[in-house]
Amino acid sequence: MSATILIIEDEPAILELLSVNLTHAGYTVNTAQDTRQAQVQIQSVLPDLILLDWMLPDQPGIRLAQQLRAAPRTRDIPLIMLTARGAEQDKVDGLEAGADDYLTKPFSPRELLARIKSLLRRRAPQLTPDPIQAGELMLDPNARQVFARQQTLTMGPTEFRLLHFLMTHAQRVYSRSQLLDQVWGDHVFVEERTVDVHIRRLRKALSPANQEHTIQTVRGAGYRFSTTHTE
């Protein structure tokens, strides 16, 4: 599952350099040159990660970071601050405003890509290509295949994304609305009961290897992935 990255940067040369390198690395890239354009982009499609320049023409990026962290819809988006301001206090201010990481210009594209991969692995592991092993189940995001007990399990793309998300957040309970936001995207408007349909399909896909028990219903709360059998 390719991560969508929003670059908010007003210098055209830097914006183009970042866009080319991130696209080449396999990410989906959206761009904005000021905070107004950024808000329009975020309203349309919620990005998986934001690269935010400090010095923007309409308002400081640090103020936008504070606004994003204050809003329930955007408060959990991984955020890397890009800036020429390298003083210790500037870094402290950026991190306290809500940035997860702080990269001082000039920086190498390789370092930025490494920071992005590290941050996604921590904050959104379902967006990384790392294989996942849980009990007898193994999911390979690159091959888009699921294996268990020497079998390849066949499932649709939505069921694969649903399993990928739940496996990378094992033991955590997610409501239907949370799963819709995380797996379908918060810009897609479908009934919450759609989740139940795909959960049933996912369990059916896992059943040839007797792994349907890993997708568990938590009454009144939602669903979780666990390799531990429940009554």
Taking only the tens place, the pLDDT of each residue in 204-227 is: 999 999 999 999 999 999 999 998
Asked if the domains 4-127 and 132-225 are classified in one and the same CATH topology, the answer is no
Rounded to an integer, the average pLDDT of 66-77 is: 90
Fold annotation for 132-225: Arc Repressor Mutant, subunit A (1.10.10)
Q: Looking at the chain, which runs of residues are DSSP E strands? A: 4-8, 28-32, 49-53, 79-83, 101-104, 132-134, 137-140, 145-148, 151-153, 215-218, 222-225
pLDDT in tens, 161-180: 999 999 988 899 999 988 98
Distance CA 100, CA 121 (A): 13
**Are 46 and 72 a contacting pair, CB within 8 Å?**
no
Q: Which CATH number fits domain 4-127: 3.40.50.150, 3.40.190.10, 3.40.50.2300, 3.30.930.10?
A: 3.40.50.2300
Indicate the pLDDT class of residue 12, thresholds 50, 70 and 90.
very high
Phi, psi for residue 19 in degrees, rounded to 5: -60, -45
Whether the pLDDT of residue 231 is over 70: the answer is: no
- Domain map of the chain by residue range? 4-127, 132-225
**Mean pLDDT (the chain, rounded):** 90
pLDDT in tens, 184-208: 876 667 788 899 999 999 999 999 9
